[in-house]
Structure 1
Amino acid sequence: MKRLLLATALAAGLAAAPGGAEAAYLDVPVPTNAYITRGGLDWAWAFPLPAASGLDLSYQSTQGWRLPTAAELAFAPLATDFVFAGANVPFGGSDPVSGALFAATNANLTGAAACATPYFSNTYRHCDWQDGNGQPYGPWAGTEGAFFFADQLVVRAAAAVPAPASLALFGAGLLGLGAVTRRRKAA
């Protein structure tokens, strides 16, 4: 019985050790509050270094995530674009789900910001605010003039959201179909 208790305690300790909890997020989809959508693409602030330093796309590539092209990076969002109400990392804190955090914050900003690193790394869980585009050590990794420690973005095609006019047209079609069906039953 003592051995069973000791083994259980050891397993619990290993699960709580750094890297244990973070590693679990490599194999789950990135939540919507950990990325932004701009220009038809979802953008995730995915890694505190360039991709070659250990970005893990093994699972996330099955969800459509990939490295941005040079043309996409030319229109990449600024670091401040990742600040929005409901984002996963509260100002000055960490994401209660994944543990994501910003290693340095911008004192001029308040509110939450999106950082997706735990979904792309089992080594890191932070984004470096000062290394984002528009900040002192930006631009993003892969952009001309980027520092060797520039933060990495990943992208995927944004899910198509039906326009309100399309929804109205679809609804009108359903009403018309219902009216035709009702007339045929009455006849």
Structure 2
Amino acid sequence: FQLNNLTRGTTFATGVADNGIYYANYSTDFSSFGVGPLSAAASAAIAQLPNNVTYVGFEDMRDGDYDYNDLIFAFSPVVATPAPVPEPASLALFGMGLLGLGLIRRQRG
């Protein structure tokens, strides 16, 4: 995982070390970042996610305190469910109904 700060021209990445120090860290346990519990609103929102959550924490400076809790994102793979497509028979029946209504209106008019 990588975060590019375009304004400062810096990059923070997991799995890439500079003198053995990583600038981003990830975990499936939010408490591993040591910032206390999530807010009630954040906990409720994350509980709604359908899959496992991965938290990615970034260090704000290359020579910071390396606690990786300065900026934390929660990621969850979400699969979009496609809208149901009407069956051809349903469409044909609907079309026949519209045609019938049109014929009835024409006969009365």
The alignment's TM-score, normalised by the length of structure 2, stands at 0.32
The alignment's TM-score, normalised by the length of structure 1, stands at 0.20
Q: Which structure's relative contact order is higher, taking Cα pairs within 8 Å and 6+ residues apart?
A: 1
Q: More helix per residue: 1 or 2?
A: 1
